[in-house]
Amino acid sequence: MLRWLTQLRLAQKFILLGAITLVMIAFPSALYLKETVSDVRQAHRQAAGVPVLMALNMVMQHTQVHRGLSAGVLSGNQAMEQRRTGAREAVNQAIADTSALLTKTDAPAQEQERLHKWQQDWQALEQTVASGKIEAAESFARHTALVADLMLMNEELLAAYNLQSNADPANIALLQAALVQAPLLSEGVGQIRAMGTGFLTQAFLSVDDRGAFRALISQTSGQQKQAGRFIQRAMQLNPTYQQVLGEQVKKATVLLNESMGLAQNEVLEIDLLQYPAAEYFDKLTQAIESVNAVRISGAERLFVLMEAEAARQSKLLILLTGVQLALLAAAVGLTLLFVRSITRPLHHAVELALAVADGNLAGADEPTGRNEIGELIAAQQQMRSRLRPIVQQVRQGSDAVALASAEIAQGNQDLSGRTESQASALEQTAASMEQLSATVRQNADSAQEASRLTQSAHSIASQGGAMVTQMVQTMQGIHDSSRKVSDIIGVIDSIAFQTNILALNAAVEAARAGEQGRGFAVVASEVRSLAGRSAEAAREIKRLIDDSVQRVGDGNALAQQTGETMQEMVGAIQKVNTIVSAISNASQEQADGVVQVGDAITQMDQVTQQNAALVEEMAAAATSLHSRSQELVQAVAVFHLNEDGATPLPGRSRNSGQPLLK
């Protein structure tokens, strides 16, 4: 079963599922329609049965009239013969109408046969009454028997036309009042009319007849109350019945009460019967006709309602049938639309998948809805959109790899040749490095000798610096002594100046003293002259000493500069010594490095030889890579992009060539 289901197409599965659903819906729908059709038929049959019962009641009504008139005629009142003949014709016409309606409404055959037999009994009775060969009491009994047969037929026709199964309580009550209780009431009043007419015609009422008449009146009163209850119930349940039947019911009630009172007072409760039989007959006939009027109006109203109900149910049946057919058509249409809305997108999804499988990534993305299938197609379109740049990048990458592999192969070939040349150059470089190593060793020895000479010059310069420092110190002492002598000469100059002042003062004082002070003045003049020469000599000595101090200062400054120069020379020699030591060390290290470089070049020569072999292998690998990249380019060329001008492939099976979905 599962294997068979897996072989079915999706559309076939949907059709199968729709057919099962249709059967599931059709079965209860058919039952419902069958029940509804049955209800409609029953409603139409009920509506058709009302005229039949009305016609049958007319047969009963005219038979009752004929019974009363026959009682009067047979009791000796020949004035009623003509009216009896008219009643006979009315009965025959009512029988014909009833028979036609029974045939038209497809009444049960036994009911038609019973009516035919009843017609025969009626004709026999009517002929007997017409010939006057029957007593009034027997005529009454036979008429009553015929009416009883009609009453029984009435009940059977009620069942045959399903009139008592009506769903409306008001209709049931009216049906009981108009088609069941009213005929019984009419029959009771009719019997009172017939018996009373006979008693009044004979002007005699026996004791037995009086008792029977009393019982009949009592029974008829009970029937009146029963009919009244049904008619009142119908009018209460349906107010429209009150509007149609209210006045007729009141009139019938009044006439029935008067008729019951007339029969009670003028026949049953009086010893001498003097009331006119024809007037009595007419009075009770009016009461019966009022009851029949209520019965006919009620039956007609019931017929109208049943016809309307039958028409309503027919329209409802048509509407329901139309709605169900419309729903069925809509369901079929929607099912087809649903199937197409599922299979078409799936077909499109299969087309996309086959196109991608065939390498066709071209085509524009289209909106496909928000359902699950739309999401599937959107995902496939998104996959296609994402594959495009990937394939494009792979295609570009494969082209680049092919080009690069070709360039690598060519480069490896060039590299192989260059590596061989480099190996030869390295051999020459190794030989040159050996010569350079010897030269560097000689330079290192010379640098060491220069370092030793520099250290010796540094020692001599250090000693010269110390001697210059001592000379600077000596010059500084001379400079200080010269300054002290200069200061002493300044003191002498000051003393000579003061002596000169004192001598001048003494000369002034000698001049004041006159002759006494002339000798003192001469001495003062000599002293003054001597002081002047001392001051002049002191100034000359001071100039000489100042010049000596200046020269000593210059010598001191020169000695200081010489000392500083000697210090700088010592520092420079120290730096030269350091540099030469560094050069010596560097030369030694260079010599060692050159040896290492020589070793490295030797190793490089070996490595270069190995690289040459590896380059040859890389050239072979590059050639193989180029071949593989060409295969990759061919493989990627299977995919078609929008830039290639490709169109989407149709969604068909590559095995069968048929659409995967329909």
DSSP secondary structure string for all residues of 328-368: HHHHHHHHHHHHHHHHHHHHHHHHHHHHHHTTB--S-----
Of the pLDDT bands very low, low, confident and very high (cuts 50, 70, 90), residue 555 is confident
Q: What is the pLDDT of residue 256?
A: 93
> Average pLDDT of 624-650?
66
Phi-psi region of 362 (alpha: psi -120 to 50; beta: other; left: phi over 0): beta
- Does residue 497 register a pLDDT over 90? no
Contacts of 70 (CB under 8 A, 6+ apart): 84, 129, 136, 139, 140, 143, 194
Of the pLDDT bands very low, low, confident and very high (cuts 50, 70, 90), residue 653 is very low
Q: Output 661 or 591, whichever has higher pLDDT.
A: 591
Q: How many other β-carbons are positioned within 10 Å of the β-carbon of residue 146?
A: 21
Q: What is the pTM of this model?
A: 0.48
CATH for 372-644, options being 1.10.287.950, 3.40.50.300, 1.20.960.40, 3.40.50.2300: 1.10.287.950
- Does residue 656 register a pLDDT over 50? no
Measured distance CA(425)–CA(407) in Å, rounded: 26
- Does residue 278 register a pLDDT over 70? yes
Structure tokens, 150: 């009609």
Among the residue ranges 122-126, 244-248, 439-443, 535-539, the one predicted with the least confidence is: 439-443
- Does residue 40 register a pLDDT over 50? yes
Question: DSSP class of residue 637?
Answer: T
Q: What is the pLDDT of residue 430?
A: 66
Q: What is the pLDDT of residue 426?
A: 63
Of the pLDDT bands very low, low, confident and very high (cuts 50, 70, 90), residue 233 is very high
**Structural domain spans, the chain:** 2-23+41-330, 372-644
Q: What is the pLDDT of residue 612?
A: 65
Among the residue ranges 300-304, 527-531, 565-569, the one predicted with the least confidence is: 565-569
> Average pLDDT of 529-541?
79
Among the residue ranges 252-261, 281-290, 645-654, the one predicted with the least confidence is: 645-654
> Average pLDDT of 370-392?
75
Of the pLDDT bands very low, low, confident and very high (cuts 50, 70, 90), residue 468 is low
For the chain, helix (H) and strand (E) counts, in that order, are 12, 0
Q: Output 458 or 44, whichever has higher pLDDT.
A: 44
CA neighbor of 415 nearest in space, from 267, 621, 171, 555: 621
Q: What is the pLDDT of residue 368?
A: 65
Measured distance CA(230)–CA(228) in Å, rounded: 5
Q: What is the pLDDT of residue 660?
A: 36
Q: For 310-338, write each residue's pLDDT tens digit.
A: 788 788 878 888 887 888 888 888 877 87
| Residue that has been written with the tokens 């599931």 in this structure | 24
Using CA of residue 512, residue 518, residue 524, residue 528, what is the dihedral sign?
positive
Q: How many other β-carbons are positioned within 10 Å of the β-carbon of residue 311?
A: 14
Q: What is the pLDDT of residue 573?
A: 67
Q: What is the pLDDT of residue 129?
A: 93
- Does residue 110 register a pLDDT over 80? yes
Q: Output 574 or 245, whichever has higher pLDDT.
A: 245
Measured distance CA(315)–CA(309) in Å, rounded: 10
Let me know: does 52 contact 336? Beta carbons within 8 Å. no
Q: Residue 659: helix, strand or coil by DSSP?
A: strand
Q: Output 402 or 61, whichever has higher pLDDT.
A: 61
Contacts of 476 (CB under 8 A, 6+ apart): 556, 559
Q: What is the Rg, in whole angstroms, of the alpha carbon atoms belonging to the chain? A: 80
Of the pLDDT bands very low, low, confident and very high (cuts 50, 70, 90), residue 582 is confident
Q: How many other β-carbons are positioned within 10 Å of the β-carbon of residue 507?
A: 19
DSSP characters over 506-544: HHHHHHHHTTTTHHHHHHHHHHHHHHHHHHHHHHHHHHH
Let me know: does 444 contact 582? Beta carbons within 8 Å. no
Phi, psi of 263 (to 5 degrees): -65, -35
| Residue that has been written with the tokens 């349940």 in this structure | 237
Share of the chain above pLDDT 90, in %: 19
Q: Output 362 or 155, whichever has higher pLDDT.
A: 155
> Average pLDDT of 218-242?
91
Residues paired with 659 in a beta bridge = 652
Question: DSSP class of residue 650?
Answer: P
| Percent of the chain as helix, strand, coil, to the nearest 5 | 90, 0, 10
Q: What is the pLDDT of residue 374?
A: 73
| Residue that has been written with the tokens 């078609």 in this structure | 640
CA neighbor of 140 nearest in space, from 180, 92, 190: 190
Q: What is the pLDDT of residue 64?
A: 86
Measured distance CA(203)–CA(185) in Å, rounded: 26
Q: Residue 283: helix, strand or coil by DSSP?
A: helix
Let me know: does 236 contact 218? Beta carbons within 8 Å. no
Let me know: does 165 contact 51? Beta carbons within 8 Å. no
Contacts of 186 (CB under 8 A, 6+ apart): 60, 61, 64, 288, 291, 292, 295
Structure tokens, 321: 């049938």
Let me know: does 42 contact 167? Beta carbons within 8 Å. no
Q: For 444-467, write each residue's pLDDT tens digit.
A: 677 677 777 777 777 776 777 777
> Average pLDDT of 582-604?
72
Question: DSSP class of residue 162?
Answer: T
Q: How many other β-carbons are positioned within 10 Å of the β-carbon of residue 126?
A: 21
Q: What is the pLDDT of residue 285?
A: 92
Let me know: does 275 contact 266? Beta carbons within 8 Å. yes
CA neighbor of 661 nearest in space, from 337, 332, 349: 349
What average pLDDT does the structure give for the chain? 80
Q: What is the pLDDT of residue 651?
A: 43
> Average pLDDT of 637-642?
67
Contacts of 197 (CB under 8 A, 6+ apart): 68, 71, 72, 75, 77, 277, 280, 281
Structure tokens, 129: 């009454």
H or E element that contains 218: helix 207-237
Measured distance CA(626)–CA(469) in Å, rounded: 85
Q: Output 121 or 579, whichever has higher pLDDT.
A: 121
- Does residue 229 register a pLDDT over 90? yes
Helices 207-237 and 239-263 cross at an angle (nearest 10°) of 170
Measured distance CA(179)–CA(49) in Å, rounded: 11
Q: For 194-212, write each residue's pLDDT tens digit.
A: 889 889 988 888 899 999 9
- Does residue 655 register a pLDDT over 50? no
Measured distance CA(55)–CA(58) in Å, rounded: 5
Q: What is the pLDDT of residue 232?
A: 92
Phi, psi of 275 (to 5 degrees): -70, 135
Of the pLDDT bands very low, low, confident and very high (cuts 50, 70, 90), residue 220 is very high
Q: For 55-104, write each residue's pLDDT tens digit.
A: 988 898 899 889 888 988 998 888 889 999 999 999 999 999 999 999 99
Q: What is the pLDDT of residue 275?
A: 92
Q: For 166-179, write each residue's pLDDT tens digit.
A: 668 888 888 888 88
Measured distance CA(366)–CA(351) in Å, rounded: 14
- Does residue 401 register a pLDDT over 80? no
